[in-house]
Amino acid sequence: MFRLPLKAERWFSNIKHHFSFEFDMYYYCVLAGLVKGVKQLLPSSDTKELIRSFPQDYRSESKIIVAYFLTKELEKQGISLNDRAAVHSLVKRYIDSESLNAILSEEGMRELNNYANGGIEVLENEFGHKPENIETFLLRFSKFISKSA
Amino acid sequence: MTKTTTLEILGWSTRGLRCPDYQITFEKDNENVYPVTLIQMPNGTGKTTTLSLLRAALSGEAEDWKYKKVLSYQKRFNPTSFGEFNVYLRYNGSRITIMMYFDFEEGKVRYFTTTGSDPSSFSLGKDNGFRPPKDCREILNPEFINFFVFDGELAQQLLDPEFSNAEKAIEYLYQLKYFDQIKNAVKSYWDRKVSSTTATGKKGYTQRKQKVVFLEERLKQLKEEKAVLENERKIKKQELLALKQKYEDKLASNAKVRQEYELRKTALENAIKEVNELTQQVIKASRSPHNLSEIIGHSVIELKKSMDKLKLPESTAKEFFMELAEEPVCLCGRPLEHEHRLYIRERATHYLGSDEMTLLNSIKSEITNQIEDPSKCSQEYQDLLEKYNKAIERRMSAATQLDVLKQDAESGDSELADVQKRIESLNNEIANIEERLKIYEDKDTELPDERTFGISVIEKRLEEARERLAEITETITIKRKTDQLTAIIQLALDLSKEQIFEHIKNEANTRISRLMPYNHIRISKVDRALKLEGQEAGSMGETLSVAYAFMATLYNGVERQIPFIVDSPANSIDNNVRTQVAEHIPKLSKQFIAFTISSERGSFVLPLERACNGDIQFFTVFRRGDPSLEELAKKFSNVTYTEDGILVADREFFMNFHKESEADE
């Protein structure tokens, strides 16, 4: 289950009506967490259940997101891309075909959620305050990812 | 078989009120009403007043009106000490008359209701109140009435959850209230069980009971406080909207700036639309991480290349080894012993299953398909951002140009400046209320009950307190059962709502696509308000078309036929959409009554007349005092004169009527 940090819901409150899915908020948090490599474990009371699998509109993007997540995890765990056994083991731990849309195993999902938890902290630090309008957010966010990746 | 509920408006009459005295009937014969009626009333004649009176008459809301509000309905010239507004209805074949009696000395409105009999049987000595037949109440309630006595100019309210409550209207129409009634019955049952328990002597009972009572009271109080603030905000927003309209009308009546104002306003509307569309494009594009950064694209490609090099996924799946472990002999021909099987099974877990292999391959092929050239993806996204930035600048410049024009106009018109001042002040007041409302969403769980304002926090504490009370009163089993039953009822309600909302959304979207075949605006969600796909609001014409489509879906069901009364049905709509809307109006409901002004006739009335095969009534109502209009009226036969008004029931008069100076109401 994808879980959104409650803090993120508050942080996006001025602009969330522009998003078609709550998952968009989650995605922006995840991406911020991934580029900065920041993860945070939060108690479930500080997060809320979002959705079991990637929304339909993320069908093709979901695989790129998962691939980027695997890349960052390999990097974080110091696994060389030439180390077949280690790469194989990590991929095996994090992906799951049971639900094709989810793509991630329970463990993989948990780790991605941790990036979302870390990501909202990253966004708070980067922006200083919650975004007032969608245009500023999109432009600043794009710039931030571009310079931080 | 479902019985069809039919409500028709047979007519109304008004006397001694702010609008001119007049009586109007929509009856074609004893059994039928005209499917379409147009009532042309120039601004200042009392369109808005009549609409408010209709809403009040149909909902009974005027019983609670304050002195000042009642007085606002008194005639400005030659006021009398009383006034009345009667509305004549037919509900499932039975006649109902609702009379509102305005006592301007006392500042009160009294209702009288007759059903199936002659309206002259009213006894003014006895206040019999607002008493329409019981089964009619599902339609005649304030929440629902706003959806069929509808102000076309305020169509965008349907998109604003603070104004409209589409959810409530649907709940009334589809009788979903019964779910809540069942839930209340279940709760009452448990309350009775707890209060009749013999646990009085048990330690802690009183405290636990008091805690539940305290939390129930606290929750009630917080919800009431919140509702008061929300209502205050709603009233202020309505005032704000009316003032904005007044400001627009005043500005439009200034011949010097009118044309330039329209140009700048249109430029701003177009710029806003462009930014909104681009916002959605950017959101969509930003969902691909490699668009935001070339480096992300390269790193993902690198992962794919490494997997290819490492031969991941491998060509043999886990299932192969698991099956092998079941065989009597190995591939090499040697017999497999128990320890061999264990070893093969253990090693098999190091391989991916065939499904995982497929998944990994699909990830790899998606990388190839989507990120052929990372720099190209990133450049295209940057180009989109550049376009977005320019559109934002254009919007800012258009807004500034409009502001400059407004400021110029305000400097030469103190009344206009005052309206603008009030608009700004209202905006601040609304922002202030919104700030105060935030406290009820607070999630802080640390504070004591009496200092906690977060409604959801108190709800959770109440649930826990009830649980503890159930423990001590040994009604825990009943508590669990009632909880379970309540959860089932809630689930049934949620599922019903979900399916009904989805059905209404799809039906309305089909209608929208017929109304505007070349426009992609669609409803994405029906909730408290209507949510449009990927945008906050459409143009006025789009919004109105969406509103019509939504309401037609509500009214055109097999279970009910309800009239549709609209103020300014074609105002603010482009001519081409006007014609399409006109052609669809006869399909909206069995009875359509619209208040119009002369400027709305173009591209609207003739197509409407054609669409309903000429089965249409034309009325023109105006105040006495304009000699040329009075002279013109004399040439027609279907004319009714009252003390301060003239009603002409004639198509030709309707078509040629034009009042140059339409004052504000």
Strands B5-15 and B560-561, bridge-based pairing: parallel
Contacts of B381 in chain A (CB under 8 A): 142
How far A54 CA lies from chain B's nearest CA (Å)? 12
B296: nearest CB among A68, A92, A103 = A68
Q: Which residue has the higher pLDDT, B205 or B303?
A: B303
Helices H, strands E: what count in chain A? Answer: 6, 2
Task: Establish if A1 touches chain B: CB-CB under 8 angstroms.
Answer: no
B387 token code pair: 């376009």
Q: Which residue of B has its CA nearest to A141?
A: B292
- Which range has the worst mean pLDDT, B153-162, B328-337, B437-446, B628-637? B153-162
Banded model confidence at residue B13, pLDDT cuts 50, 70, 90: very high
Banded model confidence at residue A30, pLDDT cuts 50, 70, 90: very high
Q: Which residue of A has its CA nearest to B533?
A: A20
User: What integer pLDDT is reported at residue B626 of this predicted model?
Assistant: 83
Residue B325 lies inside a defined structural domain of this protein? no
Cβ–Cβ gap A67/B388 under 8 Å: no
User: What integer pLDDT is reported at residue B24 of this predicted model?
Assistant: 95
The mean pLDDT of B35-58, rounded to a whole number, is 90
Q: How many cross-chain Cβ pairs, A to B, lie less than 8 Å apart? A: 131
pLDDT at B336 over 90: no
Q: Which residue of B has its CA nearest to A91?
A: B360
Q: Which of A91, A96, A148 to mutate to test binding with chain B, by most B CBs within 10 Å of its CB?
A: A91
Name the residue among B324, B329, B315 with its Cα closest to residue B346. Answer: B324
Could you give the CA distance from residue B257 to residue B139 in angstroms, rounded to a whole number?
45
Q: Which residue of B has its CA nearest to A28?
A: B287
Asked if B561 contacts B589 with a C-beta cutoff of 8 angstroms, the reply is: yes
Residues B380, B446, single domain; the answer is no
User: What integer pLDDT is reported at residue B573 of this predicted model?
Assistant: 67
Determine how many CB atoms are found less than 10 A away from the CB of residue B294. 21
User: What integer pLDDT is reported at residue B663 of this predicted model?
Assistant: 40
pLDDT tens digits for range A85-105: 888 888 888 888 665 556 888
Task: Establish if B288 touches chain A: CB-CB under 8 angstroms.
Answer: yes
pLDDT at B662 over 90: no
Q: Which residue of A has its CA nearest to B391?
A: A135
pLDDT at B153 over 60: no
Last residue in a domain, options B457, B474, B491: B474
DSSP B7: E
Task: Establish if B350 touches chain A: CB-CB under 8 angstroms.
Answer: yes
pLDDT at B572 over 70: no
How far B290 CA lies from chain A's nearest CA (Å)? 8
B141 token code pair: 């309630």
Residue B181 lies inside a defined structural domain of this protein? no
Counting residues of chain A whose pLDDT is more than 90, the rounded percentage is 46
User: What integer pLDDT is reported at residue B62 of this predicted model?
Assistant: 92
Cα separation of the two ends of chain A? 26
Q: Which residues pair with B114 in a beta bridge?
A: B97
Q: Which residues pair with B96 in a beta bridge?
A: B89, B115
Could you give the CA distance from residue B127 to residue B112 in angstroms, rounded to a whole number?
6
Could you give the CA distance from residue B249 to residue B643 in angstroms, rounded to a whole number?
29
How far B211 CA lies from chain A's nearest CA (Å)? 24
Residue B607 lies inside a defined structural domain of this protein? yes
Degrees to nearest 5, angle at CA B261 with B259 and B267? 105
The mean pLDDT of B518-525, rounded to a whole number, is 77
B337 CA to centre of own chain: 72
pLDDT tens digits for range A45-65: 888 888 888 888 888 889 899
Residues B239, B282, single domain; the answer is no
pLDDT at B124 over 50: no
> What is the number of domains present in chain B?
3
Cβ–Cβ gap A141/B290 under 8 Å: no
Q: Which region holds residue A39: left if phi is over 0, alpha if psi is between -120 and 50, else beta?
A: beta
Q: Which of A61, A99, A101, A143 to mutate to test binding with chain B, by most B CBs within 10 Å of its CB?
A: A61
The mean pLDDT of B230-249, rounded to a whole number, is 86
User: What integer pLDDT is reported at residue B262 of this predicted model?
Assistant: 83
Q: Which residue of A has its CA nearest to B349?
A: A92
A107 token code pair: 């463990």
Task: Establish if B312 touches chain A: CB-CB under 8 angstroms.
Answer: yes
Task: Establish if A79 touches chain B: CB-CB under 8 angstroms.
Answer: no
B310: nearest CB among A17, A84, A146 = A84
Contacts of B288 in chain A (CB under 8 A): 61, 64
Determine how many CB atoms are found less than 10 A away from the CB of residue A41. 11
Strands B108-115 and B592-596, bridge-based pairing: unpaired
Cα separation of the two ends of chain B? 48
pLDDT at B551 over 90: no
Three-class SS of residue B84? Answer: strand
B283: nearest CB among A19, A95, A103 = A19
User: What integer pLDDT is reported at residue B393 of this predicted model?
Assistant: 95
Residues B67, B27, single domain; the answer is yes
Residues B299, B448, single domain; the answer is no
Residue B322 lies inside a defined structural domain of this protein? no
Residues B230, B282, single domain; the answer is no
CATH code of B34's domain: 3.40.50.300
The mean pLDDT of B177-190, rounded to a whole number, is 86
pLDDT at B593 over 80: yes
In B137-270 the beta strands, taken as DSSP E runs, fall at 149-151
Task: Establish if B290 touches chain A: CB-CB under 8 angstroms.
Answer: yes
For B14, list phi and psi in degrees, rounded to 5: -140, 140
**C-alpha distances in angstroms, B311 versus A92, B307, B315, B356?**
14, 6, 8, 14
Banded model confidence at residue B407, pLDDT cuts 50, 70, 90: confident
Banded model confidence at residue B471, pLDDT cuts 50, 70, 90: confident
pLDDT at B226 over 90: yes
Task: Name the strand (E) or helix (H) holding B89.
Answer: strand B82-91
Counting residues of chain B whose pLDDT is more than 90, the rounded percentage is 29
Burial class, B176, CB count within 10 angstroms (exposed 0-12 / middle 13-18 / buried 19+): middle
Could you give the CA distance from residue B559 to residue B173 in angstroms, rounded to a whole number?
9
Task: Establish if B447 touches chain A: CB-CB under 8 angstroms.
Answer: no
The mean pLDDT of B554-575, rounded to a whole number, is 75
> What is the number of domains present in chain A?
1
Top mean pLDDT of A75-79, B318-322, B532-536 is at A75-79
| Radius of gyration from C-alpha coordinates of chain A | 15
How far A65 CA lies from chain B's nearest CA (Å)? 7
Contacts of A89 in chain B (CB under 8 A): 350
Residues B385, B443, single domain; the answer is no
Cβ–Cβ gap B359/A17 under 8 Å: no
Residues B240, B378, single domain; the answer is no
User: What integer pLDDT is reported at residue B390 of this predicted model?
Assistant: 95
Asked if B261 contacts B252 with a C-beta cutoff of 8 angstroms, the reply is: yes
Banded model confidence at residue B123, pLDDT cuts 50, 70, 90: very low
How far A63 CA lies from chain B's nearest CA (Å)? 5
Q: Which residue has the higher pLDDT, B547 or B274?
A: B274
pLDDT tens digits for range B458-469: 999 999 998 888
Domain of residue B288: give its range. 261-313+373-407
Q: Which residue of B has its CA nearest to A64?
A: B367
Q: Which region holds residue A55: left if phi is over 0, alpha if psi is between -120 and 50, else beta?
A: beta
Alpha helices for B524-592 (secondary structure H): 540-555, 575-588
Q: Which of residues 374 through 413 in chain B touch A, CB cutoff 8 A?
A: 378, 381, 385, 388-389, 392
Top mean pLDDT of B66-80, B226-240, B386-400, B460-474 is at B386-400
Residue B184 lies inside a defined structural domain of this protein? no
User: What integer pLDDT is reported at residue B660 of this predicted model?
Assistant: 46
Q: Which residues pair with B84 in a beta bridge?
A: B15, B101
**C-alpha distances in angstroms, B87 versus B53, B60, B114, B125, B401?**
9, 12, 11, 20, 48
Task: Establish if A124 touches chain B: CB-CB under 8 angstroms.
Answer: no
The mean pLDDT of B390-416, rounded to a whole number, is 90
Banded model confidence at residue B1, pLDDT cuts 50, 70, 90: very low
For B485, list phi and psi in degrees, rounded to 5: -65, -45
Residue B49 lies inside a defined structural domain of this protein? yes
Q: Which residues pair with B12 in a beta bridge?
A: B24, B87
Cβ–Cβ gap A67/B300 under 8 Å: yes
Q: Which residue of A has its CA nearest to B371?
A: A64
- Mean model confidence pLDDT for chain B: 83
How far B331 CA lies from chain A's nearest CA (Å)? 24
Contacts of A145 in chain B (CB under 8 A): 289, 292-293, 296
Task: Establish if B283 touches chain A: CB-CB under 8 angstroms.
Answer: yes
User: What integer pLDDT is reported at residue B29 of this predicted model?
Assistant: 81
Task: Establish if B524 touches chain A: CB-CB under 8 angstroms.
Answer: yes
Residues B122, B165, single domain; the answer is yes
Task: Name the strand (E) or helix (H) holding B592.
Answer: strand B592-596
Banded model confidence at residue B174, pLDDT cuts 50, 70, 90: confident
Domain of residue A134: give its range. 2-148
pLDDT at B664 over 70: no
Could you give the CA distance from residue B543 to residue B263 in angstroms, rounded to a whole number?
21
B253 token code pair: 């009546």
User: What integer pLDDT is reported at residue B178 of this predicted model?
Assistant: 86
Q: Which residue has the higher pLDDT, A147 or B559?
A: A147
The mean pLDDT of B53-57, rounded to a whole number, is 93
Banded model confidence at residue B108, pLDDT cuts 50, 70, 90: very high
Length of chain A: 149
pLDDT at B366 over 50: yes
Cβ–Cβ gap A66/B302 under 8 Å: no
Contacts of B284 in chain A (CB under 8 A): 57
Contacts 24+ apart (CB under 8 A), B480-488: B482/B186, B482/B187, B482/B189, B482/B190, B485/B186, B486/B183, B486/B186, B486/B187
How far B297 CA lies from chain A's nearest CA (Å)? 9
Cβ–Cβ gap B389/A139 under 8 Å: yes
The mean pLDDT of B85-101, rounded to a whole number, is 92
So what's the ipTM on this one? 0.95
Cβ–Cβ gap A81/B536 under 8 Å: no
pLDDT at B105 over 60: yes
Task: Establish if A17 touches chain B: CB-CB under 8 angstroms.
Answer: yes
The mean pLDDT of B579-600, rounded to a whole number, is 82
Cβ–Cβ gap A71/B283 under 8 Å: no
Q: Which residue has the higher pLDDT, A123 or B468?
A: A123
Could you give the CA distance from residue B219 to residue B198 in angstroms, rounded to a whole number?
27
